[in-house]
Structure 1
Amino acid sequence: MERTIDWASRLDLAAHAEGGYFRRIYTDHRSQGRGDDARPWATSIHYLLTRDAPVGRLHRNRSTILHYLQHGGPVEYVLLPAPGVCRRIVLGYGDGQDLFLAVDGGCWKGSRLTGDATHALVSEVVVPGFDYADHEFMTADELGRSHAAFADGLQDLVR
């Protein structure tokens, strides 16, 4: 029998504004760009969804984000790369599931635990590095305008 691990405590994670828990674990302090456009080359976090925080709200960032499932799952990622387009990718260990997902900058992204998952621990690498100035949450109004055909099934992913 597998021992239950309290990942939030083990990794010293804090509540995340998107939902779930996180902690930045790496920042490459070399920068690219200048002035307000300067960003670290890369940043990385641990990100955790649990039964008490099972959803990562729809948001977008200007940078590409690489996702690596570390433990648990499955976790569904909902990607809205363009108006009227919705893609669903499941990170997990089962048939038809992946262990890695790359999300291009500018793509709306949300996540949720699926099935009987108790948690999903994902590590993310952001290139160029994450900056809060580049981050935006999707609103229910925006979801209704840009993805009306999918809006009913995605309400749990907006604030």
Structure 2
Amino acid sequence: MNHHNQEYWIEKLNLQSHPEGGFYAENYRADGVIPKNSLSERFTGSCSYSTAIYFLLTGSTFSAFHRIASDELWHFYDGDPLSIFFFDEVGNLHEKVLGIDIEKNQFPQVIIPAGVWFASRCQNPNGFTLSGCTVAPGFDFADFELAYADKLSNQYPQHKELIQELTRQ
């Protein structure tokens, strides 16, 4: 496989800065729409059936703790392994690694369930990770919530240090 650097991918995929950190470009939004009255109450409005983005994180940044109303499926494309941290419904912290070295407990796909707080960072501080994120029902910024460090730390005090590292507000 021919590995490229982050500048190559940012240029070729026309990636823009993402509010949670890193770079992204939406590359798919299904034509079909699910009406609000067919969705659970956690959604603020109608949603596309599905959406997908390219998402690139550099080693010098991170994707801050946030949550969305849908399941999110991450796909590994290029670069270094990515650590994805999330809290389950009973408050346990988990780390899944997006990558292609199965022997090192990495996975080419990682699923983050709807409504859980999660954050991610590249394992190589001098590297990058190019991934894809598929969301169904489709992503809408109205259903996106960034975590506040203090509030999340109060909820999960045993993980305060990691939360401080991976939040911006």
Fold agreement, TM-score > 0.5: yes
Which digits, 9 at most, give the CA deviation of each residue in 1:42-93, with x for residues without a partner? 00000000134x3000000001111000111211000112353110011122
Distance 2:3 2:68 in 1: 36
In structure 1, what is the equivalent of residue 30 of structure 2? Answer: 28
Aligned in 2, Cα 1:103/1:4: closer, same or farther, shift over 3 Å? closer
TM-score, structure 1 as length reference: 0.91
Higher mean C-alpha displacement, 11-20 vs 87-96 = 87-96
1:155 pairs with one of 156, 164, 167: 164
Query: 1:45 is matched with which residue?
Result: 53
Gaps of 5+ in 2: 38-43
**What's the % identity of the aligned pairs?**
27
Distance 1:93 1:133, change over 3 A: same
| Runs of at least 4 residues off by over 4 Å | none
Whether contact under 8 Å (2:59, 2:123) holds in the other structure is no
1:145 paired with 2:147, answer no
CA RMSD of aligned residues (A): 1.8
Deviation at 1:155, TM superposition (A): 1.4
Aligned 8 A contact 1:84 1:148 in 2: no
- Matched with 2:40 is none
**TM-score of the superposed pair, with normalisation by structure 2:** 0.86
The alpha carbon displacement at 1:11 in A equals: 0.5
For residues 51 and 23 of structure 1, the distance between their equivalents in structure 2, rounded to whole angstroms, comes to: 19
Q: Any conservation in 2 of the 1:73–1:117 contact (CA below 8 Å)? A: no
Q: How many residues align?
A: 158
After TM superposition, the structure 1 stretch with the greater mean CA deviation from structure 2, 4-13 or 31-40, is: 31-40
Kindly report which structure 2 residues correspond to 1:121-136, keeping only aligned pairs within 5 A, or say none.
121-136=130-145
Distance 1:45 1:86 in 2: 26
